Amino acid sequence: MEKDINILAIESSCDETAAAVVKNGREVLSNVISSQIALHTLYGGVVPEIASRKHIEKINQVIEQALAEADKKLEEIDAVAVTYGPGLVGALLVGVAAAKAIAFAAKKPLVGVHHIEGHISANYIEHPELKPEFLCLVISGGHTHLVKVKDYGVYEILGRTRDDAVGEAFDKVARGIGLGYPGGPKVDKLAKEGNPDAIFFPRAHIEGAPYDFSFSGIKSAVLNHLNYCQMKQKKIVPADIAASFQQAVVDTLVSRTMRAADEFGFKRVAIAGGVASNSAIRQAMSEACEKKGLEFYYPSPIYCTDNAAMIGAAAYYEYKNGVRHGWDLNAMPNLPLGQR
């Protein structure tokens, strides 16, 4: 039997300070997340400088708690993993510095992980049977990527957003209809009370790039609708706006994903990232996959949002592939997704 590999993973790319211990890439021994949402809500979005400072305050405590909850001492850890990009540079730096210091002091290998690879790998945690190849739609506050997962650590990006990420569009629409930050979960909830066919919002298509996305048009269409209603003194129905906006987003995401599954002959489809918690997206994607006889995978909400367990899952396969980073590992705010 192979020896178990326990990885201490750290994530601090945006506004969650997180640490986890993951065994053999699939078994989460602990998953600690310290969220800064309440703090950034005051400003209606993430303030990078505040995020960095909060990470510094929290990181050691979160790491200690992750080790304690996993009932592991540092000596029992096989490697230290950390998100080193993409993300907010100051925020990333805190995690990278902490991981380097711990790995150096405890004489453990250091494994840097790509944040999106982490989101994709969140699907491994609760689906032991899931292995590459599969198609993964990564939808979060910072990213909208349709990715071919060719092997562990080997990715091909089929499409990406040309402007706003889908989570950003959710957050801006939420702000427009007065729901506050973070808007995604609030739009999701309110949409359940609205009519998705009440208002038609555009579904953008990009000539010659069938798998790319654009969400700035739909965001503007929602804001224009609000202005129009105010000018004409028409009644604004936030639930209908939320439902109609969400329906347009769902149609766009599902149609692109299904087209790619058909064209490339995928049998398995996964979603990942904060927006993958959205109930309408989960339902529509699940129905579309069932119609085509495809297996559909999605993580529990706790593994959709930024967390370190997903970084530990991704790091296990990187570690097995011999990836080791040096003490010169740096935060890379625009790190491209790996194509080993």
**303 lines the binding site for ligand KG4 (CB under 6 A):** no
**Long-range contacts made by residues 236-239, C-beta under 8 angstroms, separation at least 24?**
236/177, 237/194, 237/198, 238/177, 238/178, 238/179, 238/190, 238/194, 239/190, 239/191, 239/193, 239/194, 239/195
The single residue among 86, 118, 238, 273 that binds ligand KG4, judged by CB under 6 A, is: 273
Helix and strand totals (H; E) in the chain: 11, 10
The single residue among 118, 153, 182, 299 that binds ligand KG4, judged by CB under 6 A, is: 182
Q: For the chain, how far is it from start to end, CA to CA, in angstroms?
A: 28
Contact of residue 275 among Zn ion, ligand KG4, none (CB under 5-8 Å per partner type): ligand KG4
Q: Nearest distance from residue 138's CB to ligand KG4, in Å?
A: 9
Beta strands 110-114 and 79-85, pairing class: parallel
296 forms beta bridges with: 269
The single residue among 22, 306, 317, 329 that binds ligand KG4, judged by CB under 6 A, is: 306
Q: Nearest distance from residue 87's CB to ligand KG4, in Å?
A: 8
Contact of residue 183 among ligand KG4, Zn ion, none (CB under 5-8 Å per partner type): ligand KG4
Contact of residue 90 among ligand KG4, Zn ion, none (CB under 5-8 Å per partner type): none
Nearer to Zn ion, 79 or 275 (CB): 275
Contact of residue 299 among ligand KG4, Zn ion, none (CB under 5-8 Å per partner type): none
Contact segment (CB under 6 A) with ligand KG4 among 106-114, 136-144, 147-155, 258-266 equals: 136-144
Q: Which of 151, 115, 113, 154 is nearest to 272 (CA)?
A: 115
Q: How many residues bind ligand KG4 (CB under 6 A)?
A: 19
Contact segment (CB under 6 A) with ligand KG4 among 154-162, 200-208, 218-226, 269-277 equals: 269-277
Nearer to Zn ion, 135 or 165 (CB): 165
Q: Nearest distance from residue 15's CB to Zn ion, in Å?
A: 10
Judged by CB under 6 A, the chain residues 137 through 176 that form the site for ligand KG4 are 140-142, 167, 170-171
Residue 235 dihedral angles phi and psi, to the nearest 5°: -70, 130
Nearer to ligand KG4, 16 or 318 (CB): 16
Contact of residue 312 among ligand KG4, Zn ion, none (CB under 5-8 Å per partner type): none
154 forms beta bridges with: 151, 339
**277 lines the binding site for ligand KG4 (CB under 6 A):** yes
> DSSP code of 2?
P
32 forms beta bridges with: 19
Q: 242 to each of 184, 284, 287, how far by Cα in Å?
A: 10, 16, 21
With tokens 């427009």, the residue in question is 176
Binding site for Zn ion (CB under 5 A): 140, 306
Beta strands 134-139 and 144-151, pairing class: antiparallel
Do residues 261 and 230 touch, judged by C-beta distance below 8 A? no
Nearer to ligand KG4, 37 or 209 (CB): 37
**274 lines the binding site for ligand KG4 (CB under 6 A):** yes
Q: Which of 311, 248, 337 is nearest to 63 (CA)?
A: 311
Contact segment (CB under 6 A) with ligand KG4 among 230-238, 262-270, 273-281, 282-290 equals: 273-281
3-state secondary structure string across 171-206? HHHHHHCCCCCCHHHHHHHHHCCCCCCCCCCCCCCC
Residue window 95-134: x/- pattern of binding to ligand KG4, with contact defined by CB under 6 A: ----------------------------------------
What residues make contact with ligand KG4 under the rule CB under 6 A?
Answer: 14, 140-142, 167, 170-171, 182-185, 188, 273-275, 277-278, 305-306
